[in-house]
Amino acid sequence: MTHPPTAGKLSAIPPWTIAVAAALLFGGLDVAAAFNWRISLHNPLGLWSAAMTGDWRGSLDPREVPRAIQLFVACKAVGCGLFALLSGMACVARTLRRRTVLLGLLAACAVLLDSLPLHVLVAAHLGMLLPWRRGAWLLLAQYLAGVGVDTLLVLDLVTRLHEAPRWPLLAYLVAERTVIVAGFVVARLVLREHRMRQSLATAHAQVVATQSLLADTVRGAERLRIARDLHDAVGHHLTALNLHLDLALRQARDTPLPALSIARDASGQLLAQVRNVVSSSRQEQGIDLEQALRLLCDGVPGLDVALHIDPDAARHEAAVAHALFRCIQEAVTNALRHAQARRLEISLLLRDGATQVWVRDDGQAKSGPGLDEGNGLRGMRERLAELGGELRYASPEDGGFLLELRLPQHVPAAELAA
């Protein structure tokens, strides 16, 4: 399977910047609070820091354990940096499995840092980046892990301070952690809103592009109708006029009239010009596919589309143009809805006497001999087969999905009429 040339790439703001910025913001505030001795060391990192430094004097007040607090702040800073890194990696992960693993590590990092704002950020990631059922299960695991840490910390106070268990404190911490459910739900609502807006904008772009293609088709049909009327009406009368002028010249053979000869020549030239106009109008019936494709690609949100069109492959017969447009439109829809792609490259070229189209995305790979063609791929194959074309697809080694469409340059008139 041949591969398309590298198309121009459009710049876009990386989608992970907001997630990383939020992680650095809340993590930085957490580190600043620890640096100013406003966080107790009675948490996983704090207890580990006290154990590693041996700075234990019967109290976990930061002012009484200076060496432990220094190590604690350093560990907090490293942990928050790791949290931001995992957050960005989860946002750009292509496969669902990799994204799930990264989010699991992110949740473990939040449990270790024992910061409620970071737990809420993890819940938002789960709601935005995973299917809701898988995200809900991971959210439950995150909640139970946090509750388990709180329980261990409350029981640790019993052995360290030799006092009764603080069950009300544990109940408060357990109830406080339920705020992550709100983070998950809000993230799902935001994701739903985003998808609805994206779907609406994509539908609008498709309507605008289809209107452009339809308007070009209507203009071509109108030009063809005018050319036929011009040929049938004006051409017929000019031919009859030429015949009568020829007859008049033969009848006036003995007394030739110069004006009659001039009229006959002018009528012949006019008939030739009418035929040239009709022939030119018929030859200009091709539809400009480039304008419709640019309207479609420019109006699709959330997808960085690079479009390369060979000028020789921009105009086609109506049936070919509509088939190519519908196939490319379906490929764009699949890249957004199913592959969850962020980049799309479309190349339309004229090679070896055929029009070739390559559509490649960077979304989730669809490979394997047992790939079940859905209605989209099946419809594309049927459209192309009706015009003598073919459809091929593959999953490149570097990821994504590649579609190749091929249509013969000259389509039989019977197929075009159908």
Strand partners, 358: 347, 404
User: What pLDDT score was predicted for residue 312?
Assistant: 80
User: What type of residue is 213?
Assistant: L
Contacts for 276 with CB less than 8 Å, ≥ 6 apart: none
Question: What is the predicted pLDDT for the residue at 388?
Answer: 86
- Are 355 and 348 in contact, with CB atoms under 8 Å apart? yes
Q: Would you state the pLDDT for residue 353?
A: 78
Measured CA to CA, the distance from residue 363 to residue 57 in angstroms comes to: 55
List beta partners, residue 50: none
Count of CB atoms situated within 10 Å of the CB of 90: 25
Q: What is the secondary structure of 181-227 as a DSSP string?
A: HHHHHHHHHHHHHHHHHHHHHHHHHHHHHHHHHHHHHHHHHHHHHHH
Backbone conformation region of residue 54, classed left if phi is above 0, alpha if psi is from -120 to 50, else beta = left
Q: How many residues does the chain have?
A: 418
At residue 10, the pLDDT reads: 36
Per-position pLDDT tens, the chain of length 418: 554 444 433 344 566 788 899 899 988 888 888 777 777 777 888 788 777 877 665 566 666 677 778 888 888 899 999 999 999 999 888 778 888 999 999 999 999 988 889 999 999 999 999 988 999 999 999 999 999 988 888 887 777 767 777 788 888 888 989 999 999 999 999 988 888 887 888 788 778 877 777 777 766 666 667 666 666 666 666 676 667 667 676 766 666 667 666 666 676 666 666 666 666 655 555 677 888 888 888 877 777 888 888 888 887 777 788 888 888 888 888 887 777 777 888 989 888 778 888 988 887 755 544 455 677 788 888 888 888 888 888 877 767 788 889 888 754 433 443 4
Would the pTM count as exceeding 0.75?
no
Any idea what DSSP says for residue 14? Answer: -
CB neighbour burial string for 140-150, b if at least 16 within 10 angstroms, e if fewer: eebbebbeebb
Please give the structure tokens belonging to residue 401: 């999905």
70 neighbors 55 (Cβ within 8 angstroms): no
The reported pLDDT for the residue numbered 122 is: 94
Query: Is the CA virtual torsion 369, 370, 376, 381 positive or negative?
Result: positive
Q: What token pair was written down for 417? A: 């009429």
pLDDT at 261: 67
- For residue 49 the two structure tokens come to 């820091």
